[in-house]
Structure 1
Amino acid sequence: MGNSGKVIWLTGLSASGKSTIAKKMQELLREKGKTPLLLDGDQFREAVADHNCGHDPESRILNAYRISRFANMAARQGLVVIVATMSLYHEIHEWNRKNFPDYFEVWIRADLDTLKKRDPKGLYKHIATGDAENLPGMDLTPEFPKNPEMTIFNNEDLNDVSEVALDILDRATISNFK
């Protein structure tokens, strides 16, 4: 990788498995002696703590650009950056491709019934009862990646998240995997 790092961008709807897979990737990289940076969309929002940045489309795009720019800065310092965020806008994916030193996009897919069953944050339940709004895949139309380097269909429980994480790291050409 030289002096430039890499960004592995996991995108998909809420409850698709992005964070679970990203955490396992981080763990595997650490086991190999690497120091990855994990940028989880929810944790990033919490860290930035911009109470004016909501979940409406404009705020989602603003937050996605913040994550992209931060990931870009870290990758240019030589880090492997794992991003787990919805950020389902073509303009974000295009910006990433133009600006990152090395970018690998993974679309984590799951059908709506599976997402509703998982629903760890209760978002789909709140949308159904009318207590929430602005959820991609429900009342916001997501813009799924046009040409991801990898697509993972995650409709079932992943019995071995390690295998999925290893496959991503291997295909993203992070050395010494598989």
Structure 2
Amino acid sequence: MATPDRFSAAAILREGGVFWITGLAESGKTTVASILARQLRQIGIRPVLLDGNVVREALGETRSFDREGRRNMAYTYARFGRMLAGQGQVVICSTISLFHDVQAWNRENIERYYEVFLDVPLEELKKRDSKGVYSTADHKEVVGIGVKPEFPKNPDLRIANFSDTDPESAASRILGECMAGTAR
């Protein structure tokens, strides 16, 4: 079991584990996760990428975006991540999943768990809005507006993914933590 007394992030690359990349919609989770996956492949590691939207679609769960539906899906991503990591896989999970109970479950139940919070101000997210998430007329199911987010209390890595930080450098920071063998 993982404990808040951390392991070396490099252990994920050696033994398998979960990189949990979280943040609000449009914070760059999918992009950063995809770049991190590419960077890992370049050094000979073949990660499993679990993108929240892709997993939802694969499971046929494309309707439950209220708070409880989102929480249930977050636990689904977490259980998939734990299952794959338990088989020695390096898993990159990109998901909103901003629930303290899910974050705590991950730390308690995933042996090598590394939480990355992409911290982007709401005004910047609204500017990016490539999917029309923030411009929709009905905001009741939008995390950060209608659904209250529970931002990570102590992420292993917090990245301000805007302004001078681009997705490539954000992914490189995550990989750099692993290659340096440090956890914070």
Instruction: Settle same-fold status: TM greater than 0.5.
Output: yes
SS of structure 1 residue aligned to 2:135: helix
- Offset, 1:169: 1.6
Output the CA distance in 1 between the equivalents of 2:165 and 2:130: 15
- Offset, 1:156: 2.3
Residues 1:174 and 1:28: Cα distance change in structure 2 (over 3 Å): farther
Task: Say if 2:119 is the partner of 1:109.
Answer: yes
Task: Say if 2:173 is the partner of 1:167.
Answer: yes
2:142 to 118, 135, 141: 135
Task: Say if 2:68 is the partner of 1:68.
Answer: no
Structure 1 runs (4+) deviating above 3 angstroms are 1-4, 172-175
Task: Say if 2:156 is the partner of 1:149.
Answer: yes
Residues 1:90 and 1:25: Cα distance change in structure 2 (over 3 Å): same
Q: Which runs of 5+ in 2 are unaligned?
A: 1-10
Output the CA distance in 2 between the equivalents of 1:113 and 1:155: 11
**CA deviations over 1:94-148 (Å, ceiling 9, x no partner):** 000001110110110111111001112101000xx23x53111111110000100
Matched to 1:148, the amino acid is P
Matches of residues 69-84 of structure 1 in structure 2 within 5 Å? 69-84=79-94
Percentage of identical aligned residues: 41
Output the CA distance in 2 between the equivalents of 1:174 and 1:45: 34
- Offset, 1:166: 1.7
Output the CA distance in 1 between the equivalents of 2:24 and 2:61: 22
The count of aligned residue pairs is 170
Matched to 2:108, the amino acid is K
Matches of residues 4-43 of structure 1 in structure 2 within 5 Å? 4-43=15-54
- Offset, 1:43: 0.6
Residues 1:173 and 1:65: Cα distance change in structure 2 (over 3 Å): farther
SS of structure 1 residue aligned to 2:131: coil
RMSD value, Cα: 1.9
Matches of residues 41-56 of structure 1 in structure 2 within 5 Å? 41-50=52-61, 54-56=64-66
Question: Is contact 1:88-1:142 (8 Å) kept?
Answer: yes
SS of structure 2 residue aligned to 1:141: coil
Q: Which runs of 5+ in 1 are unaligned?
A: none
TM-score scaled to structure 2, two decimals?
0.86
SS of structure 2 residue aligned to 1:23: helix
Matched to 2:48, the amino acid is L
